[in-house]
Structure 1
Amino acid sequence: MDTFSLVLTIIVALGFTYTNGFHDSANAIATSVSTRALTPRAALAMAAVMNLLGAFAGSGVAKTVSKGIIETPQGDHGMWILFSALVGAITWNLVTWYFGLPSSSSHALFGGMVGAALAGGIGVIWSGVVEKVVIPMFISPIVGLVGGYLVMTAILWLFRNSNPHRTQRGFRIAQTVSAAAMALGHGLQDAAKTMGIVVLALTIADVQDGTEIPLWVKFACAITLSLGTYAGGWRIMRTLGRRIIELQPPQGFAAESTAASIMYAASYGFSAPISTTHVITSAIMGVGATKRLKAVRWGVAKNIVAGWFITMPAAALVAAAMYGVVHLAFE
């Protein structure tokens, strides 16, 4: 086994984690920044710390990613497949970040894995893709939309007779908690996905057997995700925080609480790798719909949802093309 391909793949995996961090930092903090509950830098620092803690909070998602999406490839051939998958995911992250589109880093990764596996002649576990990726991709936004609507409706009813200024101030404070919970869930979900990829690389290289995550892998993925988060993703933050609806503190709290609850349930209850982008975006839409349906800018929402559907095939195509390049160059 060529050590070079293993080291390069791990470096690229950490590069994916970094892009995941700055691409998805908006998920955790866009609502709290847009409602002025937190300053941008304070929000990013908080998110980075909570991402770090979330990375150590559970490993069920990592084991799902490392085993269950594609057949475990072997040798240098398998390592280059994994390398190509990561390049496909990173490329799509950068494209969607440039256009300010809150797409899913998770589904870019899964799309890259499928595309590279097909190009490299490795079996795709389609039942695992459907069960662990496709079904949660459809269910989690629906739950986020409905959950956001119900939570916001409950808040409106509970505080219907309260002083508006005092309520706004109270929810602005509460948002620091809900944003932290969101960032913790992001670390729990997204750091674990890269941990699973690194474990898969170590398995391919015959460095380890099984799905246990070495401590150094946890630290490396957690710190890299946190650094990426602190770098910030301002383009996507504007889309989530202002372009879907104009958020107020109670709405921001409702959206963040809903999304965080869904991520915890998916991580601990089902070990399902879901998209933090999908759940927070759909929760914001649900919250906005409590004002009136026209309060949500459905044109912007439509473009975001369209991006969700093209993420996996787009990343798969880039990964397949990348595999063709490395196959000619190294195999």
Structure 2
Amino acid sequence: MTPTLLLLVVLTALAMAYMNGFHDASNAVSTTIATRTLRESTALAMAALLNLLGALLGMALLVVTAEWAVRLLGMTPLTEATADSPDRLGLALLAIMLTTIGWDLLTWRLGMPASTWHAFLGATLGVTLVIGATAAWGQLGAVLAVSLVGPVLSAGLAFALMHGLLRLGRHERLQRGHLRFAQTLSAGAVATGHGINDSRLPLAVVVVAATATGSTPMGMLGIMVAIAVAVGAGTLGGGHRIIRTLGRRLTDLTVAQGLAAEISAATTMSLSLFGVSSPISTSHALASSVVGAGAAEGLRNVRWRVARNIVLTWLATPLASALVGAALIGVALEFTTS
């Protein structure tokens, strides 16, 4: 891979990290803003700082190797097929990341929470098939399984937590101030977890690209810091459209519902860090938790039409990303060989 192409891959990875923070800022702060627990500027600043710190912590705990990066991204067939052509791998990485960034922009514009991970893995599938390699169907199956189980688990946990909070509230054991304080802490946990989880994606891309040039993925402290800053900066910008969807359009959140949703999302996300190898989407976890917390006070409290549109977006994410990724790499290969 030429130095110029490697530089483009690194810069695009940083752009993807920024877009990920921008798109997913809503995951950590939408409930606190909707319930007026925190002012919007305060909530975004808190989320940005904790996303940055979470990203630094998450990357510091990793044993960064080429094998780890390829396995995480599901790129074993792709890297094997391009072993003799590093530039082709570089073009493939660019196509995958540009597809992911484009999908995040589209879903942000529509106000729909969607998974950056699933967009990336879908694009990887499409690009891999066009390159002529066998796609990592096993990892895709694991992602789809988690996509089904994760939201159900999140919604069920939030539903149970909300019922517990309602019981405590009837006995006046919890005051509103206590709930607001607890919600601030739970939102911080989601922000930190998002930084830990999603910083791995751009870092792994850079490691794969660096390995293809013949260099080692060691000594990447500067890249790690840059990725963490990019995620934090994107979060500070805030995906306001998705914040409105989760905090106001999906259901009319109370402080107790926001707390239940945040605790449920943070708990579900932790499974991807401690025992589940396939990434659990922060967007899926929180949106499902909001539905579960809202349904606990009555099914009519949830706007099911909005929930249906969110689920359709989730289902479309890997398929649409695969098609766009395939088209991009096809154009790139045609252009470079002509």
TM-score scaled to structure 2, two decimals?
A: 0.91
Residue 201 of structure 2 aligns with which residue?
193
* TM alignment of 1:239-258, pairs within 5 A: 239-258=245-264
Deviations 1:4-63 (A, max 9, x none): 111101111111111111111001100000001111111111001111111133356987
Instruction: Give identity over the alignment, percent.
Output: 38
Residue 16 of structure 1 aligns with which residue?
16
Deviates more, 1:257-266 or 1:301-310: 257-266
Residue 160 of structure 1 aligns with which residue?
170
CA distance in 1 between counterparts of 2:257 and 2:208 reads 40
CA distance in 1 between counterparts of 2:2 and 2:94 reads 13
After TM superposition, give the deviation of residue 64 of structure 1 in Å. Answer: 5.7
User: Is structure 2 residue 137 aligned with structure 1 residue 126?
Assistant: yes
Residue 48 of structure 2 aligns with which residue?
48
Deviations 1:71-121 (A, max 9, x none): 224310111111101111111111111111111111111111111111122
Residue 67 of structure 1 aligns with which residue?
71
CA distance in 1 between counterparts of 2:194 and 2:63 reads 12
User: Residue 38 of structure 2 aligns to a residue in which SS?
Assistant: coil
User: Residue 146 of structure 2 aligns to a residue in which SS?
Assistant: helix
Contact 1:61 1:192 in 2 (8 A): no
Contact 1:33 1:39 in 2 (8 A): yes
Deviations 1:136-174 (A, max 9, x none): 1111111101111011111111222218xx722221122
Residue 111 of structure 1 aligns with which residue?
122
Deviates more, 1:59-68 or 1:98-107: 59-68
Alpha-carbon RMSD across the aligned residues, in angstroms, is 1.9
After TM superposition, give the deviation of residue 293 of structure 1 in Å. Answer: 0.9
**Count of equivalent residues:** 326
After TM superposition, give the deviation of residue 320 of structure 1 in Å. Answer: 1.1
Contact 1:61 1:272 in 2 (8 A): no
Contact 1:108 1:315 in 2 (8 A): yes
Aligned with residue 150 of structure 1, among 160, 165, 170: 160
User: Residue 207 of structure 1 aligns to a residue in which SS?
Assistant: coil
User: Residue 199 of structure 2 aligns to a residue in which SS?
Assistant: helix
Contact 1:199 1:213 in 2 (8 A): no
Contact 1:70 1:122 in 2 (8 A): no
Aligned with residue 140 of structure 1, among 147, 150, 171: 150
Partner letter of residue 26 of structure 1? S
CA distance in 2 between counterparts of 1:213 and 1:113 reads 27
* TM alignment of 1:231-310, pairs within 5 A: 231-310=237-316
Deviations 1:172-202 (A, max 9, x none): 1221111111100110111112211211221
Contact 2:268 2:280 in 1 (8 A): no
Contact 2:123 2:318 in 1 (8 A): yes
5+ residue gaps, structure 1: none
CA distance in 1 between counterparts of 2:118 and 2:284 reads 10
CA distance in 2 between counterparts of 1:33 and 1:200 reads 38
Deviations 1:114-133 (A, max 9, x none): 111111223322112222x2
5+ residue gaps, structure 2: none
Residue 216 of structure 2 aligns with which residue?
208
Partner letter of residue 176 of structure 1? T
TM-score scaled to structure 1, two decimals?
A: 0.93
Partner letter of residue 75 of structure 2? I
Partner letter of residue 155 of structure 1? L
After TM superposition, give the deviation of residue 213 of structure 1 in Å. Answer: 8.0
After TM superposition, give the deviation of residue 247 of structure 1 in Å. Answer: 0.6
After TM superposition, give the deviation of residue 217 of structure 1 in Å. Answer: 2.5
Aligned with residue 76 of structure 1, among 87, 91, 94: 87
CA distance in 2 between counterparts of 1:154 and 1:213 reads 48
| Alignment CA distance shift 1:109-1:213 (3 Å) | farther
CA distance in 2 between counterparts of 1:222 and 1:271 reads 22
Partner letter of residue 49 of structure 1? L
User: Residue 273 of structure 2 aligns to a residue in which SS?
Assistant: helix
Contact 1:240 1:281 in 2 (8 A): yes
Partner letter of residue 152 of structure 1? M
